[in-house]
Structure 1
Amino acid sequence: MTKLLEQAVARVRALPADQQDEFARVLLRLAGDDGPVYQLTPEENASLAGSLAEAERGEFATDEQVQAVWAKYNR
């Protein structure tokens, strides 16, 4: 490891864990690791699986439901 990289790692070690993880993801991407950028929590993974299953069954929001959501946030 070069001296510059050692200095960078030492500085990153002093950061909070969530910031360390962000730096690690960037470094891994730069090094050619194409792994997932964000790790889903078990709850997020379950929600995503449910959403994908709904989509496969053709269960989508109606136009009226979508318009209601837009109206709620476009005030």
Structure 2
Amino acid sequence: MTRLFEQAIAAVSTLPDAKQDEYASVLLRLVGVDQATIQLTPDEDADLAEAELEVARGELVSDDEMKALWAKYRG
């Protein structure tokens, strides 16, 4: 294991369990290991359906709005 990879694992290991699982799932997908399909709740399914309708209607956010959103969560 490389030093950088060890550093990344050490950093992730300090996060809450749910975040560790999220990052582990992403890593496994990147290396080609299939993960179980996520089962949406009825509310999540309804939100997704509404989002798909918004996209079909062309109701998209601007590049500036997306940049602001990413900046908010990147800290």
User: Could you tell me the TM-score, scaled by structure 2's length?
Assistant: 0.48
Task: Select the structure of larger CA radius of gyration.
Answer: 1
